[in-house]
Each structure stands twice: as structure tokens, then as C-alpha cells.
Amino acid sequence: IINLTDDSFFDGGRFTNDQEVIDYAGKMISQGASILDIGAMSTKPFSTEIDSNEEWERLEKIIATLRKKFPETIISIDTYRAEVAKRSIAAGADIINDISGGEMDKGMISLIAKLNVPYILTHMQGTPKNMQQNPHYNNIFEEIFTFFSVKLKQLKDLGYSSTTILDPGFGFGKTVEHNYFLLNSLKKFKELNCPILVGVSRKSMINKVLNTTPAEALNGTSVLNTISLLNGADILRVHDVAQAREAVELVGFYNKCQNL
């Protein structure tokens, strides 16, 4: 995770110039990151939007610089705006990570199909501004599974043949209990035959249980990353690469030793 924002919940305001971003990206890659997910607008609960021009201004130079500096690394752009997504891919990004699953910009799904690039399809109830105001579901797993199914069919019907990565959207319009139920249910999303991404890094689903702050949530993050991997996660979206890499390696070795 690389946040070019002043107000992200954990690492807002980390960077004061482009070189700091490049150095940080290099450090993450050296620790084992295979994807850099770059966001220029905070989507934490109750956050306010910036306009698309400002979002793009933050991204434009960084995408080009990272692409040139790290040609082998996959670059993902965290945006729910189709215009920003289009410009990002043209500038050299590889993946679009849309926290709204095409709900906040109705042009996104058709754009992704047209560009035919990998797409992280996230479930969110509501918008960042209101998603944590009393989230409610009749059957959370069924509702998210259906949401994914409908979006996958829309993409397929538009001729899309690239990779859709599914993100259940931990903390995006869910209670703490909803989040842990989804963690328990992760394997069932495998029926949709798509890679699964989990992003729980330093989130309130950890802090509300352990009574910690985001700064104190590294160990809790490692525990939930481990549970996610055991339950079928293919990609972890993290702030702390070295620790996540260790979780991936240990769970991989653990799985390998099921039969001797």
C-alpha cells in the first residue's frame, strides 16, 4: 500500500516529495512486494472526496516514475473513477483497484471491459462517507456472493477476458462481526473461480477487538493475514510487507507439509 494522501487512517501524510515515494516503493519491493497499490484519495470511513483532477495530479507523475524505475513490478491504482482509471492505465499502471465495484462510477465496468486489464472488484455497502453508519444485511455472504456474480457476468457479457480479483471489502460497510464472519467464509468465494484479495491491514476490525490503535496493530494484522491465507486468500494488501511475506512463506510451507 502506498497512500499519496494526507488523511489515510494509518499512513496519511507520510510523503513530502516524489523521491520519498520512490524510496519507499523500492524498500517494499526489496521486502517482497509483488504489487504496488497506489491511492491518491483516502477511502477510510467518513472520509471526504477530492475532485478527480486533484486525484489525477497526485498520481500522474508517480505512475510514470515508478513504471520507469521498477519496470518488472505490477502497479495497481486504487480509484473508483473511470476517468482516473483510464489515465492511469495509459500512464503505465497494470491493475485497477475499485473499492466500489463499479457502483460509484457507472462507467467503470464498461471501461474495464474495454481496456481488458486486471480488475480488483471490491464489495462496499454505501460510500466511504456513510458506509459505517449502521451496516445491515439479511445474509451477508449471499448478498456479497450475488454482487460478485452479477458484476462478473456484466464484465463477461461485455467481452472481458482478463483477471478479476475479488475483495470482500473488510471494513467497507460491515460491522466487526460481519468482517470476522466473512473471514470464516472466505473459502466459499472460491466457487467464483477468481483470485481472492484480503485487505485487513491495521484496520478497526483488529483495533476494536484488541483495544489497540492502528500504530499498535501489526501483530493483530499478522494473525489475520495468517487466517486469511489458511482460508484461501491469494493476495494480501498490506502496509507491512516483510511481516506479510513471512506469513505467506510459513503458511505455504505448512500447506506443503500436510502430506509427507
CATH number of the domain enclosing 239: 3.20.20.20
Task: State the cell numbers at 145.
Answer: 456472493
Which phi and psi angles does 223 have, rounded to 5°? -65, -50
Task: State the cell numbers at 216.
Answer: 499498535
Tens-place pLDDT, residues 149-171: 999 999 999 999 999 999 999 99
| CB neighbour list of residue 102: distance below 8 Å, 6 or more residues apart | 108, 109, 112, 121, 151, 154
Mean pLDDT of 230-250: 98
Residue 181 above 50 pLDDT? Answer: yes
Beta strands in 159-250 (DSSP E): 164-167, 197-198, 235-236
Which listed residue (27, 190, 237, 245) is catalytic?
237
Q: Tell me, what's the pLDDT at 201?
A: 96
Mean pLDDT of 178-193: 98
Which listed residue (58, 203, 245, 256) is catalytic?
203
Q: Which amino acid is at 141?
A: F
Q: What is the pTM of this model?
A: 0.92
CB atoms within 10 A of CB 139: 9
- Write out the residue range of the structural domain in which residue 104 sits: 2-256
Q: Are 217 and 202 in contact (CB under 8 A)?
A: yes
Q: Tell me, what's the pLDDT at 46?
A: 64
Assign 17 a pLDDT band (cuts: 50, 70, 90).
confident
- DSSP annotation of 51: P
Size of the chain, expressed as the number of residues it contains: 260
Is 237 catalytic? The answer is yes
**Residue whose C-alpha cell is 480479483:** 165
Alpha helices in 70-134 (DSSP H): 82-91, 108-115
Residue 37 Cα distances to 77, 97, 125, 148, 156, angstroms: 6, 8, 22, 21, 25
Residue 187 Cα distances to 104, 183, 196, 232, 234, angstroms: 27, 9, 9, 5, 11
Distance from chain centroid for Cα 103: 16
Tens-place pLDDT, residues 62-115: 999 999 999 999 999 999 999 999 999 999 999 999 999 999 999 999 999 999
Assign 44 a pLDDT band (cuts: 50, 70, 90).
low
Question: What radius of gyration, in Å, describes the C-alpha atoms of the chain?
Answer: 18
Q: Which residues pair with 38 in a beta bridge?
A: 2, 77
Residue 120 above 70 pLDDT? Answer: yes
Query: Based on the structure, what is the number of domains in the chain?
Result: 1
Is 188 catalytic? The answer is no
Residue 37 above 50 pLDDT? Answer: yes
Q: Are 12 and 215 in contact (CB under 8 A)?
A: no
Assign 10 a pLDDT band (cuts: 50, 70, 90).
very low
